[in-house]
Amino acid sequence: MTETQLEICDKCKANRSDLALPYLYSAIAYNDMGQYDKAYVDINEYLAKGGERNEIVEVLYNEIKDSADYEEGKEDLIEEPEDALKRLLPLADKFQDNAILRYYIATAYRRLGNFEKAVYYLNECLSIDDSIVEAVNEMGINYASLGIYDEAIKYLRKAFESTRDIEVCTNLIVCYLNVGKIEEAKQHLDIAKAINKDDEIVKEIETFMKNNNIK
């Protein structure tokens, strides 16, 4: 359904606010356009106005609700990880082959400090798709947070080989320092400085190593 057809629906809503059907058509349109929040509002309005909840509508309703929860859950990850989990966890059983969903759930658990749960969902994620570099990096971060540095190093090395990302590199340096692998820490500090010598974390690590006479 095009935007022109949406305009027709809006005119019908304005002229006959008692009719349910225009809300169903606009919900379908918004769903097709990926505007799930608007689709969810309109399909609920359709039902509230007495629209028939037959099998086709029920399937559409669930599809829209799942999509809306997924998108809102992603948006809540940073500021409201608990709310994100409320939206994302119920989807895990419905979409058992969705690796990215499990990555988002793991990210929410890490932000809440539940590193064990994060590792659990990252394992599920990587068992579905082991090419998701962000999940590999997250696994390293969580193992480091648990103090399991050897495992953290394994995952962070893999992530760094794929991304050459300075943040991954600095995480790797910190893990090397924690297990006493000074040469590896120094080597990766040199790599990090080559990537961006002005990075604040790189400067902090270099200062820490100098102050603690780590040569």
pLDDT in tens, 41-68: 999 999 999 989 999 999 999 999 999 9
Specify the pTM. 0.88
Any domain includes 196: no
Any domain includes 83: no
What was the pLDDT predicted at 30? 92
Do 77 and 84 meet the contact criterion of CB atoms below 8 Å apart? yes
With a cut of 70, say whether residue 1 has pLDDT above it: no
Any domain includes 142: no
Domain containing residue 44: CATH number: 1.25.40
Domain count, the chain: 1
Any domain includes 62: yes
- Which residue segment(s) compose the domain that 26 sits in? 1-76
Express as a percent the part of the chain with pLDDT over 90.
Answer: 83
Any domain includes 176: no
Q: Tell me the pLDDT band of 17, cut-offs 50, 70 and 90.
A: confident
Q: Which long-range contacts (CB under 8 A, 24 or more apart) does 61-67 make?
A: 63/31, 64/27, 64/31, 64/36, 64/39, 64/40, 65/40, 66/91, 66/94, 66/95, 67/31, 67/36, 67/39
